[in-house]
Structure 1
Amino acid sequence: MILRSAAPSPFGRKVTIAASILGLSDRVTLVVADTNNANDDLRRQNPLGKVPTLVLDDGRTLFDSRVILEYLDHLAGGGRIIPREPEARFAALRLHALCDGILDASLLQVYEARYRPEAIRHGPWLEYQAGKVSRALAELEAEPQALDPTPHVGQIALACALGYQDLRFGGTWRAGHPGLVAWLDRFAAQVPAFEQTRVVP
């Protein structure tokens, strides 16, 4: 299988970490994608032109990261990173959705600064996105997070969301969230792929 992604993508990082946790890394080859290049095959492989996109052995493609993670869990026998038991399953999926929301809001802030000239950046829009991140991190800090022996999709997404805050926002989240800092340290110690996929700012 071919994973079309880019090293800074937190969504692609989720896939790479999940593949490692599931013992599937040797079945996935990363091919860097350039989302800004109209000639990149990515736009043929995924009409949305987004990463990550997983190209299967038969040429079919899967996207987005949530779908890819479910497929990898299926390949690994199921119930490994997406729990089967309903209560645990929906808790994991809820955490996954919350952390993807953190990433979405964070990316919108990054793109506003990257693609819009400073004179026309919309302050209230940036504050709105930053508020989503702040509220989500506050909720996560208030509820001590577990770390399963095999981390589930929500825990993988949380690690990538916090890692993206380090990459793009200078780790400013750390000062007010000691519980999450400690949790991320535990995740990094337990999952070597987290450090292996870290991008230096």
Structure 2
Amino acid sequence: MKLIGSLTSPFVRKVRIVMAEKKLDYVFELDNVWGADSKVGLANPLGQVPCLVMEDGGVMYDSRVIAEYLDTLTPVCKLFPPNSRDRAAVKVWEALADGVLDAAVLVRLETTLRPPEQQSAPWIARQLGKVHAGLGVMAADLGEQPFCMGIHYTLADVAVGGALGWLAFRFPDIDWRSDYPNLARLSDKLSERASFKDTVPREA
């Protein structure tokens, strides 16, 4: 399998963590979707990463789709529970983490791609409001549990840990560690896993 992605995308990191946890072999092909020489559009018509190209030439995109598929390939470190209600709960956690990232990414694009005089302060505030609201719900739902789903490590933790790591990388002024000590504890615990250590976001 070949994974097309970047070293900074939190959605690519989610898939890389899943690959590592599942002990799956793959080729990692770096691609800058904003570069003139970007090739991901040849595989993904949306021009987005991550994009998974399978051995038979089939293509998958969207980190949620890819992660769920990868979990079926081997019984090693099952990241989705078999129970339908628990499985849905994991996907809700993932949707929340991805939603926080979607809003934060939009803020970053607005503030880095537009000159200051063209930026919309109300729109930025609206997106940041989603980030803070999402963090608050994450913290409330986590409570004092060791992992998002209780005692079991799942894709919920991969998604939440990746979101928190990206916020620390791109938005260090959002002090979620002080506001939500339980999220900080979870993040610290996850950061000790090899899959997280090996995929820390960084500029190429």
Query: Deviation of residue 149 (structure 1)?
Result: 7.0
Higher helix share: 1
Query: If the length of structure 2 is used for normalisation, what is the TM-score?
Result: 0.91
Corresponding position of 2:23: 23
1:9 and 2:19 aligned: no
Select 1:55's aligned residue among 47, 53, 56.
53
Q: Which blocks of at least 5 consecutive residues in structure 2 are unaligned?
A: none
Corresponding position of 1:37: 35
**SS at the partner of 2:72?**
helix
1:67 and 2:65 aligned: yes
Q: In 1, are the aligned partners of 2:166 and 2:201 still within 8 Å (CA)?
A: no
Please give the root-mean-square deviation of Cα atoms over the aligned residues, in Å: 1.8
**Distance change (3 Å), C-alpha of 1:146 and 1:88:** farther
Q: In 1, are the aligned partners of 2:52 and 2:60 still within 8 Å (CA)?
A: yes
Corresponding position of 1:156: 158
Q: In 1, are the aligned partners of 2:7 and 2:202 still within 8 Å (CA)?
A: no
Select 1:187's aligned residue among 141, 166, 190.
190
Q: Which blocks of at least 5 consecutive residues in structure 1 are unaligned?
A: none
Query: Deviation of residue 15 (structure 1)?
Result: 0.4
**Aligned-partner residue type, residue 179 of structure 2:** G
Task: Return the alpha-carbon distance in structure 2 between the equivalents of residues 35 and 98 of structure 1.
Answer: 24
Task: Return the alpha-carbon distance in structure 1 between the equivalents of residues 121 and 168 of structure 2.
Answer: 22
Query: Deviation of residue 172 (structure 1)?
Result: 2.2
Query: Deviation of residue 6 (structure 1)?
Result: 0.3
**SS at the partner of 2:71?**
helix
Q: In 1, are the aligned partners of 2:3 and 2:26 still within 8 Å (CA)?
A: yes
Corresponding position of 1:197: 199
**SS at the partner of 1:102?**
helix
Aligned residues with identical type, % of pairs: 34
Q: In 2, are the aligned partners of 1:80 and 1:150 still within 8 Å (CA)?
A: no
Task: Return the alpha-carbon distance in structure 2 between the equivalents of residues 183 and 80 of structure 1.
Answer: 19
Corresponding position of 2:176: 173
Task: Return the alpha-carbon distance in structure 2 between the equivalents of residues 15 and 155 of structure 1.
Answer: 13
Task: For residues 14-62 of structure 1, give each alpha carbon's deviation from its aligned partner in whole angstroms, at most 9, with x where no partner exists.
Answer: 00001111111xx211100121235432111000000000011111110
**SS at the partner of 1:14?**
helix
Task: Return the alpha-carbon distance in structure 1 between the equivalents of residues 29 and 191 of structure 2.
Answer: 24
Query: Deviation of residue 151 (structure 1)?
Result: 2.6
**Distance change (3 Å), C-alpha of 1:90 and 1:78:** farther
Corresponding position of 2:111: 113
Task: For residues 104-161 of structure 1, give each alpha carbon's deviation from its aligned partner in whole angstroms, at most 9, with x where no partner exists.
Answer: 0010010001111111100111111101110111112223254277632211000000
Task: Return the alpha-carbon distance in structure 2 between the equivalents of residues 172 and 66 of structure 1.
Answer: 27
Corresponding position of 1:94: 92
**Distance change (3 Å), C-alpha of 1:6 and 1:149:** farther
Q: In 1, are the aligned partners of 2:18 and 2:67 still within 8 Å (CA)?
A: yes
Task: Return the alpha-carbon distance in structure 2 between the equivalents of residues 79 and 167 of structure 1.
Answer: 27
Q: In 1, are the aligned partners of 2:79 and 2:155 still within 8 Å (CA)?
A: yes
